[in-house]
Structure 1
Amino acid sequence: MIDAARPLRRMLNAVVASTFAFAVASCSKPSTTGGYPDFADLVERVSPSVVNISTISAAPAPGALDGGGGGPETPENAPDWLKRFFDQHGQDRGETAPEDDSSQGGEGAVDPEEGAPGAPQPLGSGFILWDDGYILTNYHVIQDAKEVIVRLLDRRQFSAQVVGSDERSDLALLKIDAKGLPAVKTGASNKLRPGQWVLAIGSPFGFDYSVTAGIVSAKGRNLISEQYVPFLQSDVAINPGNSGGPLFNLDGEVVGVNSQIYSQSGGYQGVSFSIPIDVAAKVARQLKDKGRVTRGWLGVVVQEVDRNLAQTFGMERPVGALVARVMAGSPAERAGLKAGDVILTFNGEELPISAALPPMVGNVDPGQVIPLEVQRDGRKVTIKVEVGELENQDRDVEDSGDASVPEAPAPGSAQFGLTVSPLPDELRRRWQVVGNGVLVESVAPGPAARAGIRRGDIVQSIAGQEVSSPQRLGEIVALLTPGVTVPVLVNRAGTPSFLPLEVPGAADR
C-alpha cells in the first residue's frame, strides 16, 4: 500500500532544512538595515579580542607633576601626528576625558595610581592574536617604553613583555601572563576587494572600544615610511589611539592592523592605512619563534618608470621597476642584473610600479630562487636570482662639498648646456659611486636643465654607454641621433636615478 503522506513529509523536511540553512547563513554576517550592514552583533562578538595599550616611559608622566592645569600631554615617544593633535586639543581632552573605573586584575595585574609620576599613558590599541597571551600591536605604540600595560574588555590589566618588534613593518608582539583568552580569527587580506565593508575597534584619544566602519578604498599602497608593507587603504575613521587595533571584515575576521593615517591636521581625513594581516601574521610568527624577522633582499636601487623613460627604453607603457644601481656583492649582481634593466615581473607577479618590488622581495624567504622578467636593450629576458637576507643595508650619506675644479665644457656637451669635470676620488668614495662618471659643474638653460640635471650631479652613463671622462662624454654625445630621447644615469648625493634627456635636433647643434 502506498503511503500518500510520504511525499508531503519529504517536502516539509526540505522546507525546514532550507529555512534553517538560510537562518544559519544569515547569522554569520551582519544583517542589513536600509541597505547598510548592522554591525551590532559582530561588534559584540569580536570586542573581547581587542585590548587597550598604555605605556610608562622612563621619565615621569608629562603633566603629572604640575597638579593638572590642562590635562596630560603627549609622551615623547608618540608619533608626530599624535603630538600635533594634543598640541592643539590637549587641554580640551584633559577637561572632558571620562573617568576610568577601577579594574580587578588577576595575577600579574597592575593598577598604577592615576596621574602619579610614571602613570601609564594610553597610546594605542591591539588585539589577542593567540589565546595563550600573545598580543599584536604597532611598534610605534610601545617604542622606547619602560613598561607596557594591556587592558582587556573585562577591565583586567596586565604588565606585558615585549617578545619582539619589527620597525620595518611597524609591528610588535607582546605577551601577558594569561591563558584561554578570546583570540581573533584571522582572514585572508589578499582576498579583500576595494568596496568591501570593514570596521575598526580601538581607543581613539583614549576612548576605549570605539567602533568605526567604512570600505576598503585600495590595496597595495606603498608608503615611504614602511616600504616593505603593501598597505590596505580604507575610509574607516582612524585617529590617534587606534594604532595597533584590528580591522575586521564582515565575517568577524581580522584582515589588517590599523597603523597610519594621511592627514594635514593630525586627525582623520578619510584616508587610513592598515597592515595586511597576511604580512602581520608572518611577522608575528617569526617574532614568536625567533625573536627577529628575516626578509628577502635583492640588492638593487630602483626608480619609477615614467612615460618619457619608457619611451627611451623602447617600452609600450610605463611599468616595472627601473634598476638605477646594483649593489656590489648582492644577489642581483651575482645573477647578472645591470643598471638600466627594467624588472617587469617578480616570481610571475607583474610590477605596475617600482614601489611594488620591495614588499614582494621582502616577503620571500632568503635562499629561494626567483625568476625575474627583465627588459634589457629593447628585449625581454628571464633572469633567475637566489634571494639573499635583508640585514642593515641602509646607510647614511653626508652632504657633499664641492671638491673639484671646473673645466671647460667637454666637446659636444655644450649643446646640452653642461660643464663637467673628472670625478674626484673623494666624491667617488663618499657617494659610493659604482663604476665611472663625471661631475656636473654647471648647467645652463637647455636639454640638460629640462631633464632635471643639476650642478653637483654625477653623470655615469648616457644611452647605456658608461661615461668615464669628459672626453668620453663628448664622444658619446657626438654619436647620438638628433631628436631622440635617451636615458641618462645620474648619481645625486649617493642616490642614483635615470633621467630622460632630449638630444637636440641637427638645426640646434
Structure 2
Amino acid sequence: MRRLWLLFAQTVTVGLAFWFILTTLKPDWANNAWSIGHSAGPSPTFKIADTSVKSAAAQGSYRLAAQKAMPSVVNIYTSKEVQRSRNPLLNDPALRRFFGEQAGPRAERQSSLGSGVIVSPEGYILTNNHVVESADEIDVALADGRNVAAKVVGTDPETDLAVIKIDLQNLPAITLGHEDAAQVGDVVLAIGNPFGVGQTVTMGIVSALGRKNLTENAFQNFIQTDAAINPGNSGGALVDINGNLLGINTAIYSQTGGSVGIGFATPISTVKSVMESIITQGQVVRGWIGVEPQDITPELAESFGIKQKSGAIIAGVIRGGPADKAGMKPGDILVTIEGKPVTGTMEMMNLVAQLTPGNKAKITVLRNNQEPTLQILVGKRPPSRREE
C-alpha cells in the first residue's frame, strides 16, 4: 500500500512539473488542451473589429470636410513688370534726378503666389486684392491639375477682396456657410498654397471673432484662428467641419513671416456682400455721410461729462457733406442708424456703408440730453487712396 501511494505521489509530481513547463514555454498548447478538455462548455464571446464601421480615429477625422472643399480651392500665380534702374542707387527718384538716367531703366518681372476659392460654377473666383493687385498676368491652377488664365472682374481694397474669372464651366463651387455659423472654439480648416508647396490643409479652432484695427483696410471684422496660415495662403478658404466656407484667409500676425498661430480671415458676411456687388456691378458701392467718428472711451466720456461709456461720437463733420447739410454737429453721439444701434466706429462705418446712395436715412443722435432724428440724404463713398 505504501508503495502504491509513493508511486501515485511521484506520478502527480511529474505531471504537475510537466504542466508548469508546458504553460510557461508553450501557453497556446495549454490553452488548446484546456479548450479540448472543456469542449462541452459555452464558447467565449470576442469583440472583432468590423471593417464596415468607422474607427474612432476615422470618426474624429476631418477628411470629408477637406474632400468637399479642396476641389473648390485654387492656386493663383501672378506676375507684373516693373521698371528698375540699372544702378541700384538710382532707384531713389531724388538721386535719379541729380545724376540723370545714365543707362536707362531695365524691365523686370516680379512673380507672386496666392490662393483663391471658386464661388460659382461659371468660373468666378474669390481671392484677396493684394494677391492680384497690379498684376499683368494671372494664372490659376485648379485642384484637378488644369491651368488657365484669369482676368480681374473687380476689386475692393477697403476689404482686401477681389473677384477674378476663368473661362471654364461646371466648376466645383464651394458651399457658403451661414453668417453666424462661426463661434469661438469651433474647429476650422485652412486650405491654400503656402510657400508654393501645393494645396495644403491645416486645422485649428476659431480663436476670436470681430477682430479690428489690424490692417489698413477700412472695413474690418476678422475671424481669428490658430490654423496655420502662411504666405501663399492669402485668398484661400477657411471652412467648417462640414466643408462650408466661413471666410477668406487674409492676414497673419507674425514677427518671422511664418505662422505663429495668429491668423485672420474675412468673414462670410463681408465676403457675400462684396462678392455680389463686384459680380453684378463690377465694383462695391457704399453709402457715405461725411463724418469723422471716434470711439467713446471711459476716459473720453469722463472728460466730456458723457454718461454713455461706449459708442461713437462725431469728432468732425465734412463741410458740404450729407451730414453737414442735415444738421449733424461735432460732439453728437450716434445712437441708431436706420433703427440699428451703434456700438462703435466700426459698427457705424459698416451701417453707413450698407445704406443706398441717393436714399434718405434716419440717424438718431444724442445731443444735450435729447435724441433728435436727422434725415440724411446718403452720398456715395469716395474711393480710398489705394483705389485712386
> TM-score with structure 1 length normalisation?
0.56
Counterpart for residue 116 of structure 2: 126
Residue deviations 1:145-170, cap 9 Å, x none?
A: 11000000111100111111121111
- What is the SS of the residue equivalent to 1:162? strand
Counterpart for residue 389 of structure 1: 380
Residue deviations 1:303-345, cap 9 Å, x none?
A: 1212122124443442111111111121211222110011133
2:146 to 132, 156, 159: 156
Counterpart for residue 136 of structure 1: 126
Q: Does residue 70 of structure 2 align to residue 47 of structure 1?
A: yes
- Cα 1:259–1:144 change in 2 (3 A) is same
Matching of residues 34-433 of structure 1 within 5 Å: 37-59=60-82, 121-223=111-213, 224-392=215-383
Higher relative contact order at CA 8 Å, sep ≥6: structure 1 or structure 2? 2
- Cα 1:267–1:307 change in 2 (3 A) is same
Indicate the RMSD between aligned Cα atoms, in angstroms.
Answer: 2.6
Residue deviations 1:328-383, cap 9 Å, x none?
A: 12121122211001113333333333233222222333234433332212343333
Distance (whole Å) between structure 1 residues aligned to residue 350 and residue 344 of structure 2: 12
Q: Which runs of 4+ in 1 moved over 4 A?
A: 31-37, 117-120
1:122 Cα deviation from its structure 2 partner: 4.7
- What is the SS of the residue equivalent to 1:130? coil
Distance (whole Å) between structure 2 residues aligned to residue 393 and residue 211 of structure 1: 34
Match of 1:348, as an amino acid? G
Distance (whole Å) between structure 2 residues aligned to residue 352 and residue 37 of structure 1: 40
- Cα 1:34–1:320 change in 2 (3 A) is farther
- What is the SS of the residue equivalent to 1:308? helix
What is the number of equivalent residue pairs in this alignment? Answer: 309
- Residues 54, 120 of structure 1: 8 Å contact kept: no
1:393 Cα deviation from its structure 2 partner: 6.7
Distance (whole Å) between structure 1 residues aligned to residue 129 and residue 182 of structure 2: 25
- Residues 323, 338 of structure 1: 8 Å contact kept: yes
Distance (whole Å) between structure 2 residues aligned to residue 369 and residue 218 of structure 1: 35
Residue deviations 1:108-131, cap 9 Å, x none?
A: xxxxxxxxx988845110011110
- Cα 1:331–1:218 change in 2 (3 A) is farther
- Residues 82, 110 of structure 2: 8 Å contact kept: no
Residue deviations 1:89-117, cap 9 Å, x none?
A: xxxxxxxxxxxxxxxxxxxxxxxxxxxx9
Match of 2:259, as an amino acid? Y
Distance (whole Å) between structure 1 residues aligned to residue 345 and residue 277 of structure 2: 27
Runs of 5+ unmatched residues, structure 2: 1-53, 84-106
- What is the SS of the residue equivalent to 1:165? strand
| Greater C-alpha radius of gyration | 2
- Residues 64, 243 of structure 2: 8 Å contact kept: no
Identity %: 39
Counterpart for residue 24 of structure 2: none
Matching of residues 3-22 of structure 1 within 5 Å: none
1:265 Cα deviation from its structure 2 partner: 2.1
- Residues 129, 184 of structure 1: 8 Å contact kept: yes
- What is the SS of the residue equivalent to 2:70? helix
Match of 1:48, as an amino acid? P
Distance (whole Å) between structure 1 residues aligned to residue 55 and residue 320 of structure 2: 58
Distance (whole Å) between structure 1 residues aligned to residue 304 and residue 369 of structure 2: 6
- Cα 1:312–1:297 change in 2 (3 A) is same
Distance (whole Å) between structure 2 residues aligned to residue 355 and residue 32 of structure 1: 47
1:291 Cα deviation from its structure 2 partner: 1.6
Distance (whole Å) between structure 2 residues aligned to residue 393 and residue 238 of structure 1: 27
> TM-score with structure 2 length normalisation?
0.73
